[in-house]
């Protein structure tokens, strides 16, 4: 029998360190603007079905056991142990982790140890700009310090990402803004912001950094291993020798409780419940995460 190739989750977030109740867990299963259809719950969605099919057996339960029983078993094992079982059962050997999402989430190192896998950082440009702005007194120093910070982050990050596409999608103009537009936008932002303020969404009518239907991710000039940035693939390894088949960015399994990933799935809303490190991508069969 041929061993399946290893999986790379090429866009995910860390795993929640805390356990979730039934309602809070369910809310993480799908992006939705309102309640589920009458007579159903979010456990009746495709993501919910996948979690119920693939995650319980990794914790010693039968497939499709009641959600309350599944979450009770997670509490019995504890967050750390449940997360380890779910992540290691996913078949994922490398995670590319966007560290820009707020919340009590594991960092790439913790994710790697829990899943017995590699983990590499994706740096979110908005978060980098916010950190630099807090220590820059003028627009000139902000732009110079930001350029230096991006250059420094490229030494260890495997990619950069931006949420501009997620906020505006195809409404963003594809042309990059010129130096004058950048300086003007930076000046207006710094004049109005207080320490710790988040970077607002760019105007959909003005110059934009890119066009995308989701978060825009660009490979960093170098990877941790010194090899070229990883090529998106459904089954592959970052800095490993195992073969990979191509796939589009999706979320990885998280210590939350989602099943092994093969088909695309919609990433959970906000932070991942107990299934998979929260990620943003198209629908696929969820990965087993914590």
pLDDT digits (tens, 9 = 90+) for 128-148: 999 999 999 899 999 999 999
- Of how many residues is the chain composed? 290
Helix 79-88 / helix 46-58 crossing angle, nearest 10 deg: 100
Condensed to tens digits (0 to 9), the pLDDT of residues 184-200 reads: 999 999 998 888 788 77
Q: What is the mean pLDDT of residues 142-157?
A: 95
Better-predicted residue by pLDDT, 48 or 28:
48
Task: Give SS3 for 56.
Answer: helix
- Compute the distance between CA of residue 56 and CA of residue 66 in angstroms, rounded to an integer: 10
> How remote is the C-alpha of 200 from its chain's centroid?
20
Which of 14-23, 211-220, 263-272 is most confident? 14-23
Condensed to tens digits (0 to 9), the pLDDT of residues 37-67 reads: 899 999 998 889 999 999 999 999 999 999 9
Give the DSSP H/E element, type plus range, for residue 161: strand 159-162
User: What confidence tier does 3 reach under pLDDT thresholds 50, 70, 90?
Assistant: confident
Q: What is the mean pLDDT of residues 234-241?
A: 35
State yes or no: pLDDT of 265 exceeds 70: no
Q: End-to-end CA distance of the chain, in Å?
A: 29
Contact between 103 and 147 under an 8 Å Cβ cutoff? The reply is: no
User: What confidence tier does 101 reach under pLDDT thresholds 50, 70, 90?
Assistant: confident
Contact between 67 and 94 under an 8 Å Cβ cutoff? The reply is: no
**Tokens 């998280």 sit at which residue?**
254
Q: Looking at residue 193, what DSSP letter applies?
A: -
User: What confidence tier does 287 reach under pLDDT thresholds 50, 70, 90?
Assistant: very low
- Compute the distance between CA of residue 123 and CA of residue 132 in angstroms, rounded to an integer: 14
Q: Measuring CA to CA, which residue among 278, 279, 274 is closest to residue 290?
A: 274
Q: How many CB atoms lie within 10 A of CB 277?
A: 38
Contact between 133 and 190 under an 8 Å Cβ cutoff? The reply is: yes
User: What confidence tier does 176 reach under pLDDT thresholds 50, 70, 90?
Assistant: confident
Buried b (16+ CB within 10 A) or exposed e, 170-198: eebbeeebeeeebeebbeebbeeeeeeee
Q: Measuring CA to CA, which residue among 262, 260, 258 is closest to residue 15?
A: 258
Average pLDDT, the chain: 75
Condensed to tens digits (0 to 9), the pLDDT of residues 239-264 reads: 333 333 333 333 333 444 444 333 33
Instruction: Report pTM.
Output: 0.66
> 14-23, 34-43, 235-244 — which is least confidently predicted?
235-244
Q: How many CB atoms lie within 10 A of CB 116?
A: 11
Q: What is the mean pLDDT of residues 85-103?
A: 93
Please report, for the chain, the start and end positions of each structural domain, with discontinuous segments joined by +. Answer: 1-121+231-290
Which pLDDT score is estimated for 2?
76
Which pLDDT score is estimated for 217?
59
> 10-14, 22-26, 212-216, 281-285 — which is least confidently predicted?
281-285
Which pLDDT score is estimated for 197?
80
- Compute the distance between CA of residue 151 and CA of residue 289 in angstroms, rounded to an integer: 32
């Amino acid at each position: 029998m041929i061993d399946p190739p290893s999986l790379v989750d090429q866009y995910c977030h860390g795993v929640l360190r805390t356990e979730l109740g039934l309602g809070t867990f369910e809310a993480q299963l799908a992006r939705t603007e309102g309640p589920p259809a009458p007579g159903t719950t979010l456990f009746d969605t495709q993501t919910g079905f996948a979690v119920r099919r693939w995650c319980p057996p990794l914790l010693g339960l039968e497939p499709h056991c009641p959600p309350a029983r599944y979450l009770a078993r997670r509490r019995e094992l504890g967050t750390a142990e449940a997360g380890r079982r779910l992540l290691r059962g996913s078949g994922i050997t490398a995670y590319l982790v966007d560290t820009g999402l707020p919340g009590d989430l594991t960092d790439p190192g913790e994710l790697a140890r829990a899943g017995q896998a590699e983990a590499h950082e994706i740096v979110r440009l908005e978060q980098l700009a916010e950190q630099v702005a807090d220590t820059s007194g003028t627009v000139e120093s902000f732009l110079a310090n930001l350029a230096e910070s991006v250059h420094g982050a490229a030494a260890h990050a495997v990619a950069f990402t931006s949420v501009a596409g997620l906020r505006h999608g195809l409404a963003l103009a594809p042309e990059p803004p010129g130096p004058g537009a950048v300086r003007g936008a930076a000046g207006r932002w710094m004049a109005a912001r207080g320490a710790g303020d988040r970077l607002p969404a760019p105007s959909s009518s003005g110059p934009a950094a890119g066009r995308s239907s989701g978060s825009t991710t660009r490979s960093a000039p170098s990877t941790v291993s010194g090899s070229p940035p990883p090529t998106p693939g459904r089954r592959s390894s970052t800095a490993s020798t195992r073969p990979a088949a191509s796939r589009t960015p999706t979320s990885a399994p998280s210590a939350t409780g989602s099943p092994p990933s093969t088909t695309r799935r919609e990433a959970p809303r906000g932070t991942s419940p107990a299934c998979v490190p929260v990620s943003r991508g198209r629908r696929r069969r969820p990965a087993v995460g914590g």
